[in-house]
Amino acid sequence: MALTVYEDIERCFEGGWSDGLPVVPPYGSLVDRMLGEMGWKPTEVVGRIKAQNIEIRAEHLAATAVMAGCKFEYGRLLRALCKGLMDPRLNLSGAEVTTGGASVLVMVGGPIVAELGFEHEANALGANNRANATVGRFAQMVRHFCGRGGGVLQTHGTIGHPGRLSFCIAEHPETVWPPFHTQFGIPAGTSAVSVMTSEGPNSINNHYGETPEVILDTIADTLQHAGMTNWYWHSGCSVIVIAPDHMQTISPKYNRDQVRKYLYEKAVRPTAELKRLGRITANPRPESKVDLNALRSPFDSEAQMAFIECGKAGGKFSALIPGWVGARMIISNVVE
């Protein structure tokens, strides 16, 4: 039996049914059970990518969930996650082919974080935890199987980032500010899963600052680094991860909306300098609203910044996760 399973894992590699890591072979009995937990019939069409002429059926997604190592009890979360993955606004095939090497960032919040055992403290952006690792892997595998892995697209990512294998973060069940998904109209107290196409995370270290302003200035400085992809395009969102120690310094004086406004005003650079650095094209299009005499934010509006609370107390780190510029929003869905 053990040898058969091992051989089946190898068959999946040889047949191209893999993301580069060993998979749980998608035996019919396992896939049927996952379908039951997801609440779908096998041939139900869950999504379509017209430009690629493909229909994504429930059995494709359930097989992928099994292969990624997801537990059956994750089914209802995966159903809501699939809704986000199949939303054309996420631009899944764009994330697959872009030179930007984007991943699909999955963000889980609400009571389901504790119910399914997600890690939301230690190493929250890369937890060695089954729920985080397999749910994040599932999202990347769906992207891969709908794209290069399915043989219908090539991928041109210049360097990519490790999140293209798995990238799932969970918010603290108890947050200082209202939960992450409330920024997208979902009530607090509800379980939700959100998706955003993203670049890799940038760590933000400030261990010696004692006021909220110096912590926020440090975050703003990260948002305005010269390599920020959004300088010209202005279309991507960014997720700012606030860990407990920084939150303890910031929150007595600032609420979330105030922080958003503060960062939007502070994270700017002279447009002429951006042009000198080659970060603004010499021939900008009108929709990029380039004014060489003005300061430039990497965002069109402060609403392009969203905040999530996770990480372990005891270290004064936060993080910036820049969104890929080919998708213009974070998509959030309720887990029923």
Interacting residues toward other proteins by CB under 8 A? 1, 4, 7-8, 11-18, 25-28, 31, 49-57, 59-60, 62-64, 66-67, 91, 93-94, 99, 141, 145-146, 148-152, 154-156, 232-233, 235, 281-285, 287, 325-328
Least distance CB 70 / other proteins (angstroms)? 12
Q: How many residues does the chain have?
A: 336
**Given the DSSP bridges, would you call strands 192-198 and 331-334 parallel, antiparallel or unpaired?**
antiparallel
- Residue 305, SS3 per DSSP: strand
Nearest to other proteins of 16, 162 (CB atom): 16
Least distance CB 140 / other proteins (angstroms)? 13
Alpha carbon distance 238, 246 (integer Å): 18
Nearest to other proteins of 46, 243 (CB atom): 46
Determine how many CB atoms are found less than 10 A away from the CB of residue 67: 26
Least distance CB 59 / other proteins (angstroms)? 6
Nearest to other proteins of 16, 270 (CB atom): 16
Least distance CB 94 / other proteins (angstroms)? 5
The answer to whether 168 and 139 have CB atoms below 8 angstroms apart is yes
Nearest to other proteins of 57, 225 (CB atom): 57
Q: Which helix (H) or strand (E) holds 67?
A: helix 58-68
Q: Which of 126, 11, 137 is nearest to 64 (CA)?
A: 137
What tokens were used for 13?
């590699």
Determine how many CB atoms are found less than 10 A away from the CB of residue 90: 23
Helix residue spans in 163-227 (DSSP H): 212-223
Least distance CB 223 / other proteins (angstroms)? 20
Nearest to other proteins of 21, 188 (CB atom): 21
